[in-house]
């Protein structure tokens, strides 16, 4: 009896509203390692898949923001716990995607998990840091309160398969937004794996949606969608980013374009998709 057998090739699916559908178009594409070797098949999301993800995010965002800041922090921390348990798997795929040694990939995964914990810790501090009581002349209290923009579209980093994904996705989520992430076209698997973990943790369905596919096909739809309140252009540069910026202007979106120093301990991403609400209240007797 022969010991040879066929490889069972995996096809990763989309994450929309807590479920893992295939693309409605039925399309998929091959993902290769940094060395050019086949790794897996990936669902090739369509414009309709994006629209479905936006609709799911809109419903989920209300519930997510309605929960306490403490609860949101615990949910994000649970994601860090799950990623910690699957560090070896994440490191393997980061190494394949980015052409790193396994030791360097392990350090990258450790940094990514630390960042998840960092964002978990920010959920109940955003109001303290970015809100405050305002001085007014009269028998009133006047407060500035940070509130989320709502639904945020993200074009994830094309190069940083996990760390870049974490920063782009978790910052707006920590601030109370729901997100739709277009994962790296060539290096999507680490981000998709993190999305799978979120769906089996305590994240409400639709808070984190992950769509894979051809960035140049998906990004314009996300940028011009009128029910998307903000867009992060981390994964595009140059003329492509300028074109998406112009498309976003048609529906008056907030636009975030990263710059040097936005990693590490920068809070610029946290502030990118926060609005300020002013509340007046009379002083009681």
The per-residue pLDDT string of the chain (285 residues; one tens digit each, 9 = 90 and over) reads 556 777 777 899 999 999 999 999 999 999 999 999 999 999 999 999 999 999 999 999 999 999 999 999 999 999 999 999 999 999 999 999 999 999 999 999 999 999 999 999 999 999 888 887 778 777 778 788 899 999 999 999 999 999 999 999 999 999 999 999 999 999 999 999 999 999 988 899 999 999 999 999 999 999 999 999 999 999 999 999 999 999 999 888 999 988 766 665 678 889 999 998 888 878 865
- Residue 116 near residue 170, CB atoms below 8 Å: yes
Strands 151-155 and 38-43: unpaired
Supply the pLDDT for residue 140: 79
CATH topology of domain 11-282: Aldehyde Dehydrogenase; Chain A, domain 1 (3.40.605)
Render 43-109 in DSSP notation, one character per residue. E---HHHHHHHHHHHHHHHHHHHHS-HHHHHHHHHHHHHHHHHTHHHHHHHHHHHHT--HHHHHHHH
Neighbours of 66 (CB within 10 A): 10
The number of C-alpha atoms within 13 Å of 174 and in the hemisphere containing its C-beta is 29
Domain ranges of the chain: 11-282
Q: Cα 133–274–177 angle (5° rounding)? A: 125
What tens digit of pLDDT does each residue of 122-158 get?
999 998 888 877 787 777 787 888 999 999 999 999 9
Q: Please give the Cα distance from 45 to 21 (Å, whole number).
A: 10
Global confidence as pTM: 0.92
């Amino acid at each position: 009896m022969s010991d040879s057998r066929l490889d069972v090739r995996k096809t990763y699916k989309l994450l929309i509203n807590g479920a893992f559908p295939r693309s409605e178009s039925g399309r998929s594409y091959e993902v290769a390692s940094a060395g050019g070797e086949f790794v897996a098949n990936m669902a090739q999301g369509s414009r309709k898949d994006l629209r479905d993800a936006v609709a799911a995010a809109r419903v989920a965002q209300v519930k997510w923001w309605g929960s306490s800041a403490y609860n949101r922090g615990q949910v994000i921390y649970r994601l860090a716990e799950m990623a910690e348990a699957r560090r070896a798997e994440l490191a393997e795929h980061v190494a394949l995607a980015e052409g790193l040694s396994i030791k360097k990939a392990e350090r990258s995964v450790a940094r990514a998990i630390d960042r998840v914990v960092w964002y978990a810790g920010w959920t109940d501090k955003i109001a303290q840091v970015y809100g405050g009581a305002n001085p007014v002349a009269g028998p009133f209290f006047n407060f500035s309160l940070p509130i989320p923009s709502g639904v945020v579209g993200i074009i994830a980093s094309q190069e940083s398969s996990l760390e870049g994904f974490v920063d782009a996705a978790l910052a707006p989520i920590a601030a109370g937004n729901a997100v739709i992430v277009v994962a790296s076209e060539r290096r999507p698997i680490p981000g998709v794996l993190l999305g799978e973990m979120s769906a089996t943790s305590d994240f409400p369905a639709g808070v984190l949606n992950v769509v894979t596919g051809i960035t140049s096909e998906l990004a314009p739809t996300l940028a011009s969608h009128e029910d998307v309140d903000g867009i992060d252009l981390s994964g595009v540069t140059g003329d492509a980013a300028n074109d998406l910026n112009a498309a976003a202007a048609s529906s008056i979106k907030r636009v975030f374009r990263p710059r040097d120093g936005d990693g590490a301990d920068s809070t610029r991403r946290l502030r990118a998709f926060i609005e300020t609400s002013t509340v007046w209240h009379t002083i009681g007797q």
